[in-house]
Chains A and B, each alone.
Chain A
Amino acid sequence: MEKSGTTRRQLLTAIGMVGGTAALYQAMTTMGHAMETQYKGPPDLSGVRPGASVLVLGAGLAGMVAAYELNKAGYKVRILEYQNRAGGRNWSLYGGDTYTELGGATQNIQFASGHYLNPGPWRIPYHHRTLLHYCKTFGVQLEPFIQFNHNCFVHSADAFGGRPVRYREAAADFEGNVAELLGKAVDQKALDSELTKEDREKLMEALRGWGMLDKDMRYKANLLTSEHRGYERPPGGGVNGEPIPSQLFSFHDVLNSQVWKNMAFFMNHEMQTTMFQPVGGMGMIGKAFAHQVQQLVTFNAKVTRINQDKSGVTVIYTDTGSGAVSEAKADFCVCAIPLGVLNQIPNNMAPAKRAAVAAVPYSNSVKIGLQMARRFWETDDYIYGGHSFTSQDIALISYPNYHLFEDGPGVLLGAFASGAGAYRLAGMTPEQRIEAALAQGSVFHPGVYRKEFQTGASVAWSRVPWTLGCCARWNEETRKQHYQTLVAVDDRIVLAGEHASYVGCWMEGALLSSLDAITRLHKRALEA
């Protein structure tokens, strides 16, 4: 694998030198490479000077991959971590865990054994090569994450009388109606100046096949359209084997439901299948990284000052248990502290760097896990994984991808809110959040949702004590003004994390950022 990768890289380099960028890009596309993230394999950190040391701040994925690779290369490495646990936002909550948010509300998690809530990351795109590489290297067992399920629901207060409908039905009716209308436009010669006669004929054929239109180019309730949207009575055996077609929705309702937004969501490169999750909870990845570097970590260390001078980096930290103040020194520092927190830590980095740190606000997701006594979505609604979307604050409920078909309980994701909806849920007490999630989620499974509910847990990222938010939120303006300053090595300090990447709010971004940061820091160390 590694060997053929090297060969491929050498070949691409040769093509690039001979034919220029365009030829290189074409060759990469042909070889199926251009769409992947920028992972180029483990970093080259050869030639470390004996005794050279690096202090890593933060034991999330960015900090831990930096520590792992730097330590492996020969640096003396130490990690300071605010929490009593490694992993950072890579985290799962299990029965027996306790979580206290800012403001003091404490939740004692009571999920059944083997069930969990992933408050942060929960799904991994197949093209996040860096993360998949380390999962394989560190022995993290992965299983499919069921991202796209046609049989889940879409719900909008503005459509279908507020009744949820199956994604399959709404999406099929959207496509069918669009196909029919586009066919009419061709018939009415509206596209004669855009397309040749031959291409118009090909387009009509495509619309008929894609939209399930009849021979007259109409989208009607019949067995053909039922092949996409489902049947009133599905095909069976014996006497009543003959299927009965389903009725169509009004296009007005289909438009009002904005199902096209959900359809477009699944087209995002990062949301496309295949997606993965670790067996046993996303936190398994953080645990696997921690297993590699645990001897390097000092836990419960709250960083209160970061200083650098000609001789090295000095970090002052307080033990959050004892209150004891200590000093840690190293030649260099990889700072993987979230920007909102780092912004409040006194430091003597360059003014432009401090301005960049201060310029990036954080998002505010809320996730709520609800344990149900039985898996009614499977037994009653034939839903196995995937997401039911709603226009309510909770945004969606997502069905668990593990322990399928079991008689016992299941923990579903009862909310994955962002923006205004997340602010509303975050402002509630944990008990109020559960109540809101039950009230809103009941729209999908009336009657059973409250009845089967057993216990729940919520994490509002705006109140997470060690991040004060979910993810860094760049925009075009801040990228232009601050991004390169933020990622540049500032004498002896370099920043790492999803905030220092263009793969923001993904674990892949944290890892890619960190590998790039330590590669540049190593170069700086050799030049010193």
Chain B
Amino acid sequence: MAKVTRAIFGVMLAATPALAQAPSGGGDIAGSPTVKTAAPATGEQVYVQVCQACHMADAKGGSGAATIPALASNPKLATAGYPVSLILKGRGAMPSLADMLQPAQIADVTSYIRTHFGNNYANPVTVEDVVRLSTPR
């Protein structure tokens, strides 16, 4: 079963060479409707091209009127399901990235964050973990 799932997502990734643009929810946020952004391949690339926009290159987040949490040296990352679930569902100002990232990309970036920036949680996150958490129970 696990092998089948991985094979299916492999096919989906291959058929999706570009990141989907978030659908316009109205409002003056539409730059161009034709943008096609190349999909980041590795966990590090996903971090740099998506997560870093808010959590910063050093993963230390930032604080103003409110706070973008640090991922660096964050003990909450010990439980892999926590960051995976946040990426899938979003929280507060952070949107769900389930439409933008494939399960394999979410697994890879979670593994990357959990083994960098002062975090050392070696057990890798798998596609199956992500799929399991994205299925409503």
Contact = CB atoms under 8 A, between A and B. Distances in A.
Interface stretch (A109-117, A201-209, A411-419): A411-419
Contact of B26 (A158, A364, A394, A504): A504
A121 B28 CA distance: 7
A420 B33 contact: no
A95 B107 CA distance: 44
Contact of A391 (B32, B51, B56): B32
A463 B105 CA distance: 23
A279 B34 CA distance: 31
Interface string A83-121: 000000000000000000111100000000000000001
B68 A426 contact: no
Interface string B1-44: 00000000000000000011110111111111111110000000
A283 B86 CA distance: 35
Chain A, interface SS category = loop
B27 A506 contact: yes
A270 B26 contact: yes
Contacts of B32: 261-262, 265, 387, 389-391, 395-396, 416
Interface string A298-331: 0000110000000000000000000000000000
B136 interface: no
A451 to B, nearest CB: 25
A427 interface: yes
A133 interface: no
B22 A419 contact: yes
A102 B93 contact: no
A358 B92 contact: yes
A102 B57 contact: no
Which one of B21, B28, B54, B93 has the highest number of Cβ atoms from chain A below 10 Å of its Cβ?
B93
Interface in B47-88: 48-54, 56-57, 60-68
Interface string A347-368: 0000000000010011111000
Contacts of B67: 344
Contact of A505 (B27, B33, B61): B27
A278 interface: no
Given A427-B52, A471-B27, A504-B25, A463 B62 contact: yes
B133 interface: no
Contacts of A391: 32, 34-36
B33 A344 contact: no
B31 A421 contact: yes
B53 A460 contact: yes
B124 to A, nearest CB: 24
A89 to B, nearest CB: 11
A393 interface: yes
A334 interface: no
Given A362-B95, A474-B25, A156 B66 contact: no
A364 B21 CA distance: 12
A91 to B, nearest CB: 14
Contacts of B93: 338-341, 343, 361-362, 468-469
B62 A420 contact: no
Given A391-B34, A393-B37, A423-B50, A361 B22 contact: no
A264 interface: yes
Contact of A361 (B31, B66, B96): B96
B30 to A, nearest CB: 7
A193 B93 CA distance: 52
Interface centre among A158, A257, A261 (most CB of B within 10 A): A261
Given A358-B91, A362-B95, A418-B29, A465 B37 contact: no
17 contacts: A82-B65, A157-B36, A262-B34, A264-B33, A270-B27, A302-B65, A338-B93, A340-B92, A340-B93, A341-B65, A361-B92, A396-B32, A419-B19, A420-B22, A463-B53, A473-B95, A503-B27
Interface of A: 82, 101-104, 121-123, 154, 156-158, 257-258, 261-262, 264-265, 270-271, 302-303, 337-341, 343-345, 358, 361-365, 387, 389-396, 415-424, 426-427, 460, 462-471, 473-475, 498, 503-506, 509
Given A338-B93, A396-B32, A427-B51, 8 more contacts: A123-B28, A257-B34, A339-B92, A358-B92, A394-B31, A420-B49, A462-B53, A463-B62
Interface of B: 19-22, 24-37, 48-54, 56-57, 60-68, 90-96, 100
In the A-B complex, list the 3 residue pairs whose CB atoms are closest, starting with the nearest.
A505-B27, A465-B64, A340-B93
